[in-house]
A and B are shown apart, each in its own frame.
Chain A
Amino acid sequence: DQQVKQNSPSLSVQEGRISILNCDYTNSMFDYFLWYKKYPAEGPTFLISISSIKDKNEDGRFTVFLNKSAKHLSLHIVPSQPGDSAVYFCAAGSQGNLIFGKGTKLSVKP
């Protein structure tokens, strides 16, 4: 049973618009959440994180929102750029280990 779910395998947006990537989790014991970005033939690279005691964290064009009651988090990218095209993984952590979702492939079109 998947503990971290990314239900949208792909997302396509126009350059300059907002990209919203969603993630749901089932385990209320997770105490931190991270987003990773992955380009082909490379390892995942850390993008942004949020602690379970917060509901929002912002870093430049990237904002992560956490709704604990709904066990849902989302990543907002504004404005989206063609270089943002990649696979985005949501990960949830507890006691040092991370559980990853299956990823969402984002395509940003010029």
Chain B
Amino acid sequence: EAGVVQSPRYKIIEKKQPVAFWCNPISGHNTLYWYRQNLGQGPELLIRYENEEAVDDSQLPKDRFSAERLKGVDSTLKIQPAELGDSAVYLCASSSSGRGYNEQFFGPGTRLTVL
């Protein structure tokens, strides 16, 4: 079974430029998460989808971040414009259900460096 796929793996941009990250979850997983992990910290949730619906985006900085999950499968996370403080690893995870306990499976992440 293929795991969570993310691309690109690494991205270097200058501040004020836009950037987008793509995620393909495990087949059949209807719940998808985007996390941000800063250096020396644990992952922090940005947004959670149940199928196409964003059910928790309370931690997403909506002035510059946006996300979409068309057709309830792949998802894209965008930052526009990027700031120096956005440098981090962006992780995508999926699970078979968002309700109750279900382990989340993580992708390898995209390491973003903003210069």
Which residues of A pack against B, CB within 8 Å? 4, 31-32, 34, 36, 41-46, 49, 51, 89, 91, 93, 95-98, 100-103
When the two chains form their complex, are residues A43 and B42 in contact, meaning their CB atoms are under 8 A apart? Answer: no
Is chain B's binding surface mostly helix, strand, loop or mixed?
loop
A2 to chain B, nearest CB (A): 9
- Say yes or no for B100: interface residue by CB 8 A criterion: yes
Residue of A nearest to B89 (CB): A43
A44 to B102, CA, bound (A): 15
A-B contact count (CB 8 A): 56
Q: A101-B42, A102-B42 are in contact. Are A96 and B107 (CB under 8 A)?
A: no
**Which of B4, B42, B55, B101 sits near A100, CB closer than 8 Å?**
B42
When the two chains form their complex, are residues B101 and A93 in contact, meaning their CB atoms are under 8 A apart? Answer: yes
When the two chains form their complex, are residues B108 and A100 in contact, meaning their CB atoms are under 8 A apart? Answer: no
**Which of B45, B93, B101, B105 sits near A51, CB closer than 8 Å?**
B101
A25 to B91, CA, bound (A): 23
Q: A97-B48, A102-B40 are in contact. Are A49 and B108 (CB under 8 A)?
A: no
**Which of B40, B43, B48 sits near A44, CB closer than 8 Å?**
B43
